A and B are shown apart, each in its own frame.
Chain A
Amino acid sequence: MNQQPLPNSLRQGPDLRGRFGEFGGRYVAETLMPVIQEVEQAYNAARNDPAFMAEWRRLLKDYVGRPSPLWLCERLTAHCAAESGRDDLGARIYFKREELNHTGAHKINAVLGQILLARRMGKPRIIAETGAGQHGVATATACALFGLKCVVYMGATDVERQAPNVFRMKLLGAEVIPVTSGAGTLKDAMNDAMRDWVANVADTYYCIGTVAGPAPFPQMVRDFQCVIGEETRQQILAAEGRLPDALVCAVGGGSSAMGLFHPFLDDKDVAIYGVEAAGRGMDTAEHAASLNRGRPGVLHGNRTYLLQDGDGQIQEAHSISAGLDYPGIGPEHSWLHEIGRVTYVGATDDEALAAFQLCSRLEGIIPALESAHGLAHVLKLAPTLRRDQTIILNLSGRGDKDIFTVAKHLGEQL
C-alpha cells in the first residue's frame, strides 16, 4: 500500500526484529510469542494479497466514507493572521478531516484492516483496549459488521469521562469491561487486554488501537493509517500545487500522527510536529509527555520512551483527553524524536480547551479533545509562518464524546 521507499529513506523501518533504531521489538511473555508471530506472518501475507487490500479499500470507501476531505480553514487562518499582528504572516491552515469518518475518528482505518486480518486468521473473538473510547467504538463497529464477538477493556476513569462512547459500544453489541487497576486509564486497560489475550490466544485477536505494542503492531497500524497521509499528499498537491510546509498532529500512542507523517518523512522541506499532552504543564508532575519528559524503557511489548520513576516503575500520565492519557508512545515516534526528523512539542489541558472552543466557533467543527491539542500548536505556529505557507492538521476525531468533559471544565451543567 506504500510506495517503495528509497534506499536512504526514513520509511524503511522496522527492521526484521521489529525495531526502529533501538526502539520497538517484541517484549512479551512466552505464551504470547507464538500468536504474535502468527499475526506477523498473516499480516505479511495479507498486505501482499491484492484481494485483501481491495476488500479493505472497498470498506474504507463505501463504509467509512473515504477519502476524507482536506478543508481550508479560512476563518482560523484569518484569526492567526490577525494574531501575528503583521500583514505578511499567518500560514494557511488545512484540516485533514478524519472526524468525518464513520465512527468519528481515524481509528476505524486500522481497525478494519485488523478485523479483516483476524477473520483471515480464523479468530472469532476480538479484544481491544480503549482510552477515549474511539478505538473501542471503531472495534465494536467492525465486529458488528462482521458478526464477531467483541470485548473492550476501558479504564474505569475513562468509562466515566467518556460515557457516551461506552453506551455506543454497548449498542453495537460489545462487552465493555471497566479496569480498576492503577489509575484506571489507558495503560491499565492495555495491561488487562494483554492478560485476556494470554488466556485466550487460541480464539482471540487483540486489535491494538495505536502504533504501539509488540511488533508487528506498530508497523501494521501505521501502514493502515498511512491512508491518511497518502490522501493528504494528493489533496494538498491538487489544492496548492506543492507540498505543505508543516504537518501537525496530536500524539497519544501516535497512530493518527504516524498515518499523516509517514508518507512525508522523506520530504525534507516539510516540517513535522507531534503534539504531546502537557496536562497541567510539562514541568508539573501531571502530563503525558513521554518524549519530552520520559526516558527509554520497556512496556506493553515494546521499547520506547516512557514516563517512569527512578526505579523503572511506570508513572501515571495525566491529560484532560482520555486518548492522550498514556505514559508511553509508539516506538517509531521515539526513533523519529531521537533522529530529530519530527519535533515533539506539548499543549496543556487549558490550551487544548481554548483551541476546542475556537475551532467550534470559527470553523463550525467540534474537534475531539485529542485533536484540539494538535490545533493548540497550530495556533502557535501559524502566526509565525508566511501567508503563502501551509500547515495541515490531522483533525483526528470529532468532539461529541467530549462535550461532557468540556462542559464540566467550563463550569456548565448539562
Chain B
Amino acid sequence: MSASGSTQECFDRKGRIAARFAKLKAEGRGALMPFVEAYDPDPATSMALLRGLPGAGADLIEIGVPFSDPMADGPTIQLAAQRALKAGGSLAGALAMVRDFRREDDDTPIVLMGYLNPILSYGIESFCTEAACSGVDGLIVVDLPPEEAAELAVPAREQGLDLIRLVAPTTDEERLPRVLEGTSGFIYYVSIAGVTGTRSATRDALADAIPRLRRHTDLPIAIGFGIRSPQQAAEAVQLADGAVVASALIATLADCLDERGRARPDTLRRVLDQVRELAEAVRGARVTS
C-alpha cells in the first residue's frame, strides 16, 4: 500500500538531529520545536507554514500525521486531525510534504509524530525506507511503548531514522532505563500526565524532573505538552534542550480560519508571528545548566 515512488530523488543525509543539537549547544541555547499538523487546514497552507517555520525561528520541526483516533491528544489537535483528514491528509501526504520541504532546506531536522496504525497500514519496511528518503530524521509514535517497539525500531535504525521515546511524569526510576534503551536523537519529556493542549507543568515540577532524567541519559531533552507562551518556552529551554509547542500554534491557526474552516489571507502570518515570538524568547533565555 506504499504510496509515492521511492524512485524519486532521495535526501538521505543522516544525523540532522544530532548536528542541530550540537550546533545549538555550541551557541549556548536551546531549540524551539514547533508542531504542524500535515494538511491542516489544507495541503497548500500547511506546506506554506512548514516552509515558513525555519525563517520564523524553528530549530527543529515536528509534523503531526493525521489519525482518526488521536488518543493522546486533547480537543485542539483532535480538531486539527479532523480538518487534515477532511483535506485528504495521510501518512503518504506527510511524507510528500517533507520531500518538498527538503528541496529547499537540507538542515532543519524533521520529526514525524503520530500513531502506529497508519504506519502499519503503509507497511513498516517501506515506510521507513521512504521516510528516510524523503528527508525525515526522526519518528515519535505515541502509542508504541518500548515493550512493543522492536518491529519499528529495527527497520528505523537501519534507515538512520531516530526513534524518539516519550518519557512521562509517571515513568519511574526503575522503568526509565528500559524506556531510554535504544532511543536516539533526543528524549521527549511529556511534562504532564494528560493529553495535549490541556494543562501545563509548573516550573518546579520541571526543575525536579529534568535533572532526574539527565542522570540517565546524555541525549538532548525536549519538553512538550503544555508549553504555550514565550515565557513557558524560555523556562523549558533553561532546564532542558528544547521546547515543543503544538496546541498553542494550532489554536491560533484554528482561530484564523473562516466560518467554513478555510484559511484566510492572514492565517499563515499570524501563526508564523507567534513562532517568531516564541523563538525570540527561546533565544533570549540564558542557559543555566
Cross-chain contact B117 with A29 (CB below 8 angstroms): no
Q: Which residues of B contact A35 (CB under 8 A)?
A: 170
Cross-chain contact B117 with A312 (CB below 8 angstroms): yes
Instruction: Answer whether residue B97 sits at the interface, using C-beta atoms and an 8 A cutoff.
Output: no
Instruction: Answer whether residue B194 sits at the interface, using C-beta atoms and an 8 A cutoff.
Output: yes
Which of B69, B142, B165 is the most central at the interface, judged by chain A CB atoms within 10 Å of its CB? B69
User: Of A33, A301, A312, which contacts B121 at CB under 8 A?
Assistant: A312
Cross-chain contact B69 with A191 (CB below 8 angstroms): yes
Q: Which residues of B contact A13 (CB under 8 A)?
A: none
Cross-chain contact B193 with A31 (CB below 8 angstroms): yes
A39-55: contact bitstring with B at CB < 8 Å (1 yes, 0 no)?
00000000000000000
B91-111: contact bitstring with A at CB < 8 Å (1 yes, 0 no)?
110000000000000000000
Given contacts A26-B148, A30-B145, A198-B195, contact A308 B117 (CB under 8 A): yes
Given contacts A194-B71, A299-B117, A311-B92, contact A28 B193 (CB under 8 A): no
Instruction: Answer whether residue A367 sits at the interface, using C-beta atoms and an 8 A cutoff.
Output: no
Cross-chain contact B145 with A198 (CB below 8 angstroms): no
Given contacts A30-B171, A312-B117, contact A182 B72 (CB under 8 A): no
B222-248: contact bitstring with A at CB < 8 Å (1 yes, 0 no)?
000000000000000000000000000
A96-137: contact bitstring with B at CB < 8 Å (1 yes, 0 no)?
000000000000000000000000000000000000000000
User: How far, in angstroms, from A199 to B148 measured CA to CA in the complex?
Assistant: 22
Given contacts A31-B190, A199-B194, contact A314 B68 (CB under 8 A): yes
Q: How far is the CB of B153 from chain A (nearest CB, A)?
A: 14
User: Of B1, B78, B117, B147, which contacts A26 at CB under 8 A?
Assistant: B147
Q: Which residues of A contact B115 (CB under 8 A)?
A: 298
Cross-chain contact A27 with B190 (CB below 8 angstroms): no
Cross-chain contact B194 with A198 (CB below 8 angstroms): yes
Q: Which residues of B contact A191 (CB under 8 A)?
A: 69-71
Q: Which residues of A contact B145 (CB under 8 A)?
A: 26-30, 33
Which of A25, A34, A301, A315 is the most central at the interface, judged by chain B CB atoms within 10 Å of its CB? A34
Specify the chain B residue showing the minimal Cβ separation from A33: B145
Cross-chain contact A29 with B148 (CB below 8 angstroms): no
Chain A's interface size range is 35 or more
Cross-chain contact A311 with B69 (CB below 8 angstroms): no
User: How far, in angstroms, from A297 to B122 measured CA to CA in the complex?
Assistant: 11
Q: Which residues of A contact B78 (CB under 8 A)?
A: 181
Interface of A is mostly: mixed
Q: Which residues of B contact A187 (CB under 8 A)?
A: 69
User: How far, in angstroms, from A301 to B69 measured CA to CA in the complex?
Assistant: 12
B167-186: contact bitstring with A at CB < 8 Å (1 yes, 0 no)?
11111100100010000000
Specify the chain B residue showing the minimal Cβ separation from A35: B170
User: How far, in angstroms, from A308 to B90 measured CA to CA in the complex?
Assistant: 13
Instruction: Answer whether residue A313 sits at the interface, using C-beta atoms and an 8 A cutoff.
Output: yes
A195-229: contact bitstring with B at CB < 8 Å (1 yes, 0 no)?
10011111000000000000000000000000000
Specify the chain A residue showing the minimal Cβ separation from B118: A312
Q: How far is the CB of A232 from chain B (nearest CB, A)?
A: 35
Instruction: Answer whether residue A300 sits at the interface, using C-beta atoms and an 8 A cutoff.
Output: yes
Instruction: Answer whether residue B85 sits at the interface, using C-beta atoms and an 8 A cutoff.
Output: yes
Q: How far is the CB of B253 from chain A (nearest CB, A)?
A: 19
Specify the chain B residue showing the minimal Cβ separation from A37: B175
Q: Which residues of A contact B198 (CB under 8 A)?
A: 199
List 13 A–B pairs whose Cβ atoms lie within 8 Å, in order of A's numbering: A29-B71, A29-B168, A29-B190, A30-B171, A31-B193, A198-B72, A198-B193, A201-B170, A202-B193, A298-B115, A311-B90, A312-B67, A312-B117
Residues of A that sit less than 8 Å from B by CB: 17, 25-35, 181-182, 187, 191, 194-195, 198-202, 296-301, 306, 308, 310-315
